[in-house]
Structure formats: structure tokens, C-alpha cells
Amino acid sequence: MTAISPGDHEGYMRLALEQAQKSPPKPTNYRVGAVLVDSAANEILATGYTLELPGNTHAEQTCFTKLARKHGVPEESLGEVLPAELALYTTVEPCSKRLSGNLPCVERVLRLAGSIRAVYVGITEPDTFVAENTGKRTLEAAGIPVIHVKGFEREILEVATAGHVKE
């Protein structure tokens, strides 16, 4: 993995986009990539992409699941073992509702509200599957800023919607 300079939000978003490209194209989901970074140490703690793990997993969920396994704790206890200055980079705004019945990614992020200091997104979630995603609003209400990393919108949308039926 190429070293990314501290504060290089575009570099981390590019890495998240590379993760998204690993996700299999399907008409029923977005291909999303995520990167969880220890901002203080400038260390990548986990990467993930949609459907990387079994069970209709989202990119953020994959990051957290992989980290929980690495630390030998349940995902809901991750906040007890992670550093206090994390940044989450995700190509698409974290979901606020899961049609599959899985825990929404926003709720997973909120469990780490003491550690995740900011969420950087490439695009807001399109209304294709869940209209009016409230992810950004919910995170910001909890004190976690959601920051748009500009310049990747077209490419992220192309990757995210690969496999969808184009009208």
C-alpha cells in the first residue's frame, strides 16, 4: 500500500475508491469502499468494500468486522480498544437504513462516536434503494462532522452503480 501523507483526504478517498472497485457489480447494491485511519498516527487500521465478507456486508461494516476480529472483541466493543482519533473515509455516505435487516452503518459509526472524529464522504447516498438517507444528518447531530471530499463524484458514482440497469 502506498504511503499517504497526514491530512491527504484525497489520497485516502482514492484508496477508498480502489476498495470500491473490488466489490462485485450487482443491480441490488452500491459498490462502496471504506478506509478507517488512526489520524494521530496516520495509520490505516482497516479497509473494506461492499460484499467483501459474507452476509450482504457494507464497506464500513467490513472495516469494523475485520478490526473486531483482529482485536478479538465483538464489534460493539471496538470503542474500548481503538485509538481516540479516527477518521472514516467512505465513497458513499454511510447508510441510515438497511433493507436486509443488518445494522445500518450510521449506527455502527455511532457506537464509535468516542473514537471516530470525522467521516469523509465522496458522495451522498443516491435515492435508488433507500430514499432520503439521513446518515449525514444523524452523524452531525451526534457531533461527528461529515465532510465532502470533492473531485471524485463522477468516478465514485460510476463505480457505485456498476451492474445497475441503466435507464
Q: Is residue 135 situated within a structural domain?
A: yes
Residue 57 lies in a domain: yes
Buried b (16+ CB within 10 A) or exposed e, 24-37: eeeeebbbbbbbbb
* 157 located within any domain: no
For the stretch 80-92, pLDDT in tens is: 999 999 999 999 9
Question: Is 164 a domain residue?
Answer: no
- Asked whether residue 163 is assigned to any structural domain, the reply reads no
100: domain CATH number is: 3.40.140.10
Could you tell me if residue 159 is inside a domain? Answer: no
Q: Per residue in 54-98, pLDDT tens?
A: 988 999 999 999 999 999 999 999 999 999 999 999 999 998 887
Instruction: Answer yes or no: is 101 within a domain.
Output: yes
Residue 2 located in a structural domain = no
Exposed, middle or buried by CB within 10 Å (0-12, 13-18, 19+), for 166? Answer: exposed
pLDDT in tens, 113-147: 989 999 999 998 665 555 566 888 899 999 999 99
Domain hosting 140: range is 9-151
Residues 116, 88 contacting (CB under 8 angstroms): yes
Q: Is 18 one of the catalytic residues?
A: no
* Total tally of structural domains belonging to the chain: 1
- Which candidate in 10, 43, 52, 60 is catalytic? 60
